[in-house]
């Protein structure tokens, strides 16, 4: 019987799971439904708040490459229950990712939400779209300072939310400002009250 997680749990991986004692727990996971293979509402809501991810490809020599992708919140968009898409912004013009995809369409997306200690792994294939201006424009944000050169459509084959162990919490400047602004406003108001009291004190 094939399981969604077989995309990562190859015979060699399963052999090591058996050797080190984790195979039975993963067998139970597989029999209970296993990893997701479609984009559901939970993944959709997570992606709406993500402003970066890591995109992995490999060339025909099996040499892997991982590239950081960043943009405005929600720039990794959901097209339907199997496909994600994002604009390929102009960068350092090395073209390693799209070069790899031109000869090997297997790809992988790794998302880290440090503040919520959540990591999501997505396996699939990716396609480069060069001449669909309507699609490329729909993936772009006019308020974000970047040129969209092409679109990349990612078809999901499997995804999983990994455990939180060892994820150290980190926060963006935006998140910190959201928490600290009321405190600074309160300090400012108290300082103004103090100044008034000093002024009115004989």
Find out whether 151 and 131 touch, Cβ atoms under 8 Å: no
Predicted confidence at residue 202, as pLDDT, reads 66
Give the separation between CA 129 and CA 116, rounded to whole angstroms: 33
Predicted confidence at residue 84, as pLDDT, reads 98
Find out whether 136 and 151 touch, Cβ atoms under 8 Å: yes
To which residue do tokens 């399981």 refer?
Answer: 3
Predicted confidence at residue 143, as pLDDT, reads 85
pTM of the model: 0.85
Predicted confidence at residue 114, as pLDDT, reads 87
3-state secondary structure of 8: coil
Predicted confidence at residue 16, as pLDDT, reads 98
Find out whether 5 and 27 touch, Cβ atoms under 8 Å: no
pLDDT in tens, the chain (202 residues): 689 999 999 999 999 999 999 999 999 999 988 899 999 999 999 999 999 999 999 999 999 999 999 999 999 999 999 999 999 998 788 999 999 999 999 999 999 988 888 899 999 999 999 989 999 999 988 888 888 899 999 999 999 998 788 888 888 888 888 889 999 889 999 898 888 888 877 6
Edge-to-edge order in the sheet of strand 52-58: 64-70, 52-58, 106-113, 118-129, 148-162, 83-89, 77-78
């Amino acid at each position: 019987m094939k399981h969604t997680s077989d995309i990562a749990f190859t015979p060699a991986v399963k052999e090591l799971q058996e050797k080190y004692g984790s195979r039975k727990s993963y067998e139970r996971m597989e029999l209970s439904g296993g990893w997701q293979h479609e984009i559901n509402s939970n993944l959709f809501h997570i992606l709406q708040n993500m402003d970066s991810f890591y995109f992995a490809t490999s060339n025909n020599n099996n040499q892997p490459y991982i590239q950081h992708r960043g943009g405005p919140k929600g720039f990794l968009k959901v097209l339907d229950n199997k496909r994600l898409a994002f604009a390929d912004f102009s960068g350092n013009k090395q073209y390693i990712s799209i070069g790899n995809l031109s000869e090997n369409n297997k790809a992988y997306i790794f998302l880290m939400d440090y503040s919520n200690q959540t990591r999501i792994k997505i396996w699939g294939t990716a396609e480069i779209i060069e001449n669909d201006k309507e699609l490329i424009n729909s993936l772009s944000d006019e308020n974000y300072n970047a040129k969209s050169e092409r679109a990349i459509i990612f078809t999901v084959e499997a995804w999983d939310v990994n455990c939180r162990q060892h994820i150290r919490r980190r926060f963006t400047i935006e998140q910190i400002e959201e928490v600290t602004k009321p405190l600074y406003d309160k300090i400012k108001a108290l300082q103004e009250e103090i100044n008034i009291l000093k002024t009115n004190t004989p």
